[in-house]
Amino acid sequence: MAKWLLKTEPDCYSWDNLVRDKKATWDGVSNALALKHMRAMKKGDLALIYHTGNEKRIVGVAQATSNAYPNPQEADERIVVVDLKAKSKLKNPVTLETIKSDPAFKDWELVRISRLGVMPVSEAIWKRLEKLNEAKS
Q: Which of the following CATH numbers is that of domain 3-135: 3.10.590.10, 3.40.50.12160, 3.30.365.10, 3.40.50.620?
A: 3.10.590.10
Stretch 61-77: mean pLDDT, rounded?
Answer: 96
**HSE, side-chain direction, 13 A CA sphere, residue 70:** 7
Please tell me the predicted confidence (pLDDT) of residue 59. Answer: 98
Tens of pLDDT along 118-130? 999 999 999 999 9
Beta-bridge mates of residue 8: 51
What is the SS3 assignment for 36? helix
What is the pTM for the complete model shown?
0.95
Torsion of Cα atoms, 25 then 26 then 29 then 34, to 10°: -130
Average pLDDT over the chain reads: 95
| Among candidate residues 80, 82, 98, the one with its CA nearest the CA of residue 90 | 98
In order of 37, 45, 48, 66, 105, the CA distances from 3 in angstroms are 11, 6, 8, 14, 15
Residue burial 74-110, b: 16+ Cβ < 10 Å; e: rest: eeeeebbbbbbebeeebeebbbbebbeebeebeebbb
Tens of pLDDT along 5-15? 999 999 999 99
